[in-house]
Structures are given as structure tokens and as C-alpha cells.
Amino acid sequence: MGKKSFRFLWIGQTMANAGDILFIVGLISTIYLLSGSALLMALLPFFNMTARFISALLAPFLLDRMLLQRLLAFSQMGKTAVLFALAIFSGIYLTEELIWALFIFVVVIAFLDGWASPARNALIPRLVEKEELVKANSFIGVADQLVQLGMWPLGAIFAAWLGAQEVVWLTVGLYICSSFLMVLLMKSREIKKAEIELNQSKFEGFKEGWVAIVKSPFLFVISVSELIESNANVVWIAAIMFVYVAEVLQAGEEWWGYINSSFFAGLLLGGILGLRYSMRIEEKTRFLIIVGALFTAAITVVFALIESPLTALVLSALFGFCSQLKGVAQQTLVQKRVAERLLPKVYSAQEAAYFSMFGLSTLGFGYLTEIYGPRFIFLLAGGLLFASAVLLVVFRRHLTDAGSGSESSQVVSS
């Protein structure tokens, strides 16, 4: 983990992630000042998610033709150029009549960013030694959660203090720094070379990640479990949590912020413990995945039944803690079991499925919340998480760190 290439990756991607949040905060503030429309503000995450889904779906075409580090560099430089154009446009030409043009910039930036996550996660095994994977994943998890925990409130402060336009320019600065580090990563000679294999056709390359998931019992169980969990975790979005706080806890609006913060604090603590006890986690990977799934399901059900805001804070932190440890263990197992050549395509396929289902679940859960209320929705989410946990328990024999054997070779050769 002391390699320069790994530092280039995590520092550059942390800057990019911080810029992504500031960018959205700046645009929300701009849209509010120009139109005051809640609908237009709500369309930002919708367009963002849609563009990321399309990008993840098409990513295999690029992954077959570019090195991961080069793809990351070009993606970040493209985002920087588009955001620079947006900053110029919003400072000179933007009016209420032209507000629709902002969504074009949002779509292009989100589309370029859709390649970054699978490329970053697939690069990690090439930058660190196998025995350091848990530590590396935990470290990046901590960095991600610190950004999520700190940048939303900081972004709001910057927007109020500096103004929306200045926040966008601040994001341009972060993007430029990130691009510079991605270029250094691209030129690094410390990156392990992955196995190179030519595809028979463009379609073969496109479907490789999906075929690997379907053919490998290990990947299929993991992917179906993650898909179920992504549907269930929709209950933690702001719209549903806001209703939960008001109707179930009967607390003030500020408690939504407290619960959200405790959730990220739990994620952060899980990442820190992952760093501290990386060897233990590596030895107990299957145990942590199954127990984490069971605990998150139980916590979600209890969350539906309580009425105490303080208890909700504790449960929210516990949920974040358990899901983070489970996530680190699960990601490490995938990185060890899947061939490096296939890994970015598997991640792209998983993210495409996640983005599509998350968007549909957001609409469905929002509709059900209006009809049946937030308690029912959390019980439903708990049921889905228990179904995911049962799936992992039933097929637990596949959740092993197999270095050889028929199943492992299927993941490699698919």
C-alpha cells in the first residue's frame, strides 16, 4: 500500500468524488436560485443515475480497448473539460430559460464518470499485493465515507458563503488536480500487467461480464444478493427517511440529518476496523459476509418497530458498521476470485444492474410509502435483506477464497 501508484489512485479518486458532490451542490443551489423548482432539483439525481447506468452498460466496449489507468485518466480529463465549459456557460449565458442546458452537462459528466468506479475497483488488485487487499479496500472505503460525511455539509457551507458559481469553479480545481494524478497513475510502471486476451467480436467483449456472472455460481450468488440488497437499501434515501422521521419517530427535521450522519459514522468505523484487523477479516471472509447480511436484515426490521429517535441513531450506526465490514469482505473475495482481465467487466455488469434496479425501486418504494407508510416499507426492506441473507447461507460453500478448482476456473475463463 506504500506504492506511489496506489497513492495516485486513492488521492486522485478522493478529489474526484469530493468534486462530484460539490458539483451537485453547486447545481442544486443554482437551480434553486433561478427557478425555485423542487421538481427540477429532483431531476438532477435522476439524470445522474440514468447516465451512469448507460455508461456502465457500455463500459465493456472501452475496457477491451484501453488500459484501466488510461481509461481513468481520460474519463477524469473529459469530466474536467466539460465542467470547465459548464462553469463558463453558467457564469455568462445561464438564464431561467436556458436552465435545461444544465442537465446536458450533468448527463455528459455522469456518463464519463460511469467508467471510473469499475475501473478503480478493478485496478486495486494490480496496485497492491494480494495479502494487502483487505487493507486497501478498507482504506479506500474510509476515504469514500469521509468524503460523503464531510462534503455535503461543507458544500452547503461553501454555497452559502462563496456562492453557487464559485462552488462550481472550486470543483473545476479539484477535477484538475485529480486529472493530474490520474495522468501520473497512467504513466506509472508499478502496475501489474493483466492477462490480455482478444475477443472474437465486439459483442463477445460486451457480454463477457454478464456471462461470467451467470456461469460462475460464486459470482451469481454474490450478484443476486447485491441486487436484492440494493433494492432494500432504497429505504435509506432522503425522501423515505424524511417521512420516517416525521411519522414514525415524530421528531423534527434535524433528526433526519442526525440519523444520516450516524449511518456514515458507522460506515467510517467499519472501514477503520477493516484497516486495523485486515488479517482477521481475510481469515473470516465468508463468516463476515453472512453475519453482516443477517445483522443488516435484523436491524432494518427493528428500525421499523421502534419509536425512539435515540435508538434510531444507534441502529443507523450499527447498520452502517455491519454493511461496511460485509462490503469490504465481499469486495476482497471478488477481487481474489475473478481474473484481473474480467474484473472490470464484472464490476460494470453489476453496476449497470444496480443502477437500473435502484432507479426503479426508488419509484416503487416511494409509491408504497405513500400508500402503506414508512413502517411497512422498512419491514419490506428487512424481508428482502433476510431473503438475501438466506441465499448466502444456503450457497455458503461458494463463498470461499478458492485459488484453483473447477468453479474458480469458470470465473477465470468465462
**63-112 pLDDT, tens digit each:** 777 788 888 999 999 999 999 998 888 877 777 777 888 888 989 998 99
pTM above 0.95, yes or no: no
DSSP string, 351-384: HHHHHHHHHHHHHHHHHHHHHH-HHHHHHHHHHH
Assess whether pLDDT exceeds 90 at residue 385: yes
In the structure, what pLDDT confidence band is assigned to residue 144 with cuts at 50, 70 and 90?
confident
Chain centre distance of CA 170: 23
Assess whether pLDDT exceeds 80 at residue 287: yes
Assess whether pLDDT exceeds 50 at residue 197: no
Exposed, middle or buried: residue 172 (CB in 10 Å: 0-12, 13-18, 19+)? buried
Point out the least confidently predicted range of 54-68, 306-320, 364-378: 54-68
Summarize pLDDT for 115-131 with one digit per residue, the tens: 888 888 888 888 888 87
Report d(CA 19, CA 15) in Å as an integer: 6
Assess whether pLDDT exceeds 60 at residue 201: no
Mean pLDDT computed over 369-391: 92
What per-residue confidence (pLDDT) applies to 203? 57
- Quick one: cell of 256? 433526519
What per-residue confidence (pLDDT) applies to 398? 86
What mean pLDDT value characterizes the chain?
83
What per-residue confidence (pLDDT) applies to 134? 83
What per-residue confidence (pLDDT) applies to 294? 96
In the structure, what pLDDT confidence band is assigned to residue 317 with cuts at 50, 70 and 90?
very high
